């Protein structure tokens, strides 16, 4: 029987989190869910916060469930508090004791610690409106093109630089001594070791993408205290073992190492793109979609700045050159709205009905600011169609087809733009994440882009997290291309060939102007 190395991947999304158990060995890569939990923000007064202590508690429950699943006797005896149903039988192949854990999450948001290491208030949610006045303040100090030439990051009001500028002059910022991004904050509570993993640090608009260090001159010009920024660390670095009190208090293995992974979830997802060679584009599609290419160096031209493309750091120093597009948020909110109205919809049936409808009948800009907050999404989509002079969808299936056609058109624009701006050609598009389950979206994306789409793996972020941990432990291939070969050999993938309707998509582009990218 082949020995497997088993690790726990904590993967936190904007609406839910999960702890996945990954087992890696020669020619084998297995993934099992140990614990899943909601991630629900909390509004206090006029401010929207992350419920970070609830998340930390769920992470601990998930790690305990993962340890029990892996066969650790101490965890199996105790079980996760209130979560006995999460503990599954050990994976086939006898994974054995849990070897490490790693954490990835969304970008830009952070917690501030005082001089004793205590958290100074709950982290504020990137959807909070507090940065509205901070953007012009920062741009008056550092012009946008200079920010881009240093950081390569697109202009979004939710970026960390603007969140910190919004806190300027507050008692909390005056008392703060350390800034920790969300995965680093959770790792600090587990290990006591502060730091900043580079793939997430690169999303802050405070990281020098060429020097691969904090952008100290820019930080000073923006009026942000330099003392806040902890040492940077690379994916694959062992942050440290669990603190004894954490391990003993929660039934976790003594000395369990916590490994820095690609802690920005898209960095982990792109690491798990099962590509062969370099001539590929990717779409990491969930609530949000991030579409782009993997490059060896950033693109910092004025044209790239004007097009609002971003250069984020990836695994092994690769550049994730991409643009953000609103993803399945429109569909998710529509389903919630129909359910709240007493008209629950079966998604599979809706997708089948939508596939039979004429394509490109109604189109909207997915990045319309009206779609950003939660609410009655079908009504907002209908209103957007009226404003654009588009036919107004009335039935749920018509709304679903409008959403998916509109997303595919947005993907077409980004995939064309990334090739033009980077000077690189893509022969195929890899679509990973939850959107890979949606066969209609995958087919429409192939049609819109005029390129084959390879869909899967669905759990790309968790798989990338697992592989970086396993590589740090000597259990996975050292080379990223070999890691991707392992993914191709072990994961379920589907291929969608483009159908010959390029002229219809060209006409759709002329019909509906492109909009700005707005999501993290």
Active site residues: 265
For residue 290, the cross-strand partners are 284, 324
> What SS3 class is residue 223?
coil
Residue 134 has φ and ψ, to the nearest 5°, of -80, -30
**How many angstroms separate the CA atoms of 250 and 271, rounded?**
31
Residue 394: both structure tokens together: 């009335």
> Would you state the structure tokens that stand for residue 280, as one six-digit string?
């590929």
Phi, psi angle pair for 207, to nearest 5°: -115, 130
Q: How far is CA 313 from CA 278, 453, 477, 505, in A?
A: 17, 24, 21, 32
> What torsion, rounded to 10 degrees, do the Cα atoms 299, 301, 305, 307 define?
-80
Question: Do residues 264 and 104 make contact, with C-beta atoms less than 8 angstroms apart?
Answer: yes
Exposed (0-12), middle (13-18) or buried (19+): which is 168, by Cβ within 10 Å? middle
Distant-in-sequence, close-in-space partners of 73: CB < 8 Å, separation ≥ 6? none
Dihedral angle over CA of 230, 233, 235, 238, nearest 10: -100
Tokens of 298: 């950033």
Q: How far apart are CA 468 and CA 470, in angstroms?
A: 5
Closest by CA to 360, choosing from 402, 413, 410, 415, is: 402
């Amino acid at each position: 029987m082949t020995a497997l190395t088993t690790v726990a991947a904590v993967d936190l999304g904007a609406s839910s989190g999960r702890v996945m158990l990954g087992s890696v060995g020669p020619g084998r890569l297995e993934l099992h869910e140990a614990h899943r939990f909601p991630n629900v923000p909390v509004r206090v007064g006029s401010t929207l916060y992350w419920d970070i202590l609830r998340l930390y508690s769920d992470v601990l429950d998930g790690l305990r469930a993962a340890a029990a699943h892996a066969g650790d006797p101490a965890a199996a005896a105790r079980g996760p508090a209130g979560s006995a149903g999460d503990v599954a039988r050990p994976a086939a192949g006898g994974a054995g004791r849990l070897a490490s854990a790693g954490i990835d999450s969304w970008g830009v948001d952070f917690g501030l610690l005082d001089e004793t290491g205590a958290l100074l208030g709950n982290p504020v949610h990137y959807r909070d409106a507090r940065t509205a006045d901070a953007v012009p303040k920062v741009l008056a100090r550092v012009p946008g093109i200079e920010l881009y030439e240093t950081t390569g990051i697109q202009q979004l009001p939710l970026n960390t630089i603007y969140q910190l500028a919004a806190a300027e002059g507050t008692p909390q910022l005056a008392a703060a001594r350390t800034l920790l991004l969300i995965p680093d904050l959770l790792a600090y509570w587990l290990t006591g070791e502060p730091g900043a993993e580079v793939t997430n640090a690169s999303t802050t608009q405070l990281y020098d993408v060429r020097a691969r260090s904090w952008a100290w001159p820019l930080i000073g010009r923006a009026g942000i205290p330099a003392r806040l920024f902890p040492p940077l660390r690379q994916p694959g670095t062992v942050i440290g073992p669990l603190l004894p009190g954490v391990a003993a208090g929660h039934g976790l293995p003594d000395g369990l190492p916590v490994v820095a992974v690609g802690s920005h979830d898209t960095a982990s997802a792109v690491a798990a793109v099962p590509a062969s060679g370099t001539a590929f584009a990717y779409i990491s599609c969930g609530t949000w979609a991030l579409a782009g290419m993997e490059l060896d160096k950033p693109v910092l031209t004025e044209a790239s700045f004007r097009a609002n493309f971003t250069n984020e750091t990836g695994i092994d120093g690769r550049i994730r050159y991409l643009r953000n597009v609103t993803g399945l948020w429109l569909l998710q909110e529509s389903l919630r709205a129909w359910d709240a109205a007493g008209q629950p919809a079966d998604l599979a049936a809706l997708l089948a009905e939508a596939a039979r409808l004429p394509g490109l009948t109604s189109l909207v800009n997915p990045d319309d600011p009206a779609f950003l907050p939660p609410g009655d999404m079908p009504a907002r989509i209908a209103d957007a169609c009226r404003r654009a002079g588009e036919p107004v969808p009335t039935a749920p299936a018509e709304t679903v087809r409008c959403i998916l056609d509109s997303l595919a058109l947005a993907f077409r624009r980004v995939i064309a733009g990334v090739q033009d701006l980077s000077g690189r050609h893509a022969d195929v598009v890899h679509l990973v994440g939850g959107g890979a389950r949606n066969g209609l979206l995958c087919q429409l994306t192939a049609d819109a882009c005029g390129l084959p789409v390879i869909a899967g793996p669905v759990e790309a972020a968790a798989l990338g997290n697992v592989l970086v941990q396993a590589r740090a432990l000597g259990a996975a291939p050292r080379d990223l291309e070999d890691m991707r070969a392992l993914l191709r050999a072990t994961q379920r993938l589907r291929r969608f060939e483009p159908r010959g309707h390029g002229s219809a998509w060209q006409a759709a582009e002329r019909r509906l102007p492109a909009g700005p990218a707005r999501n993290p």
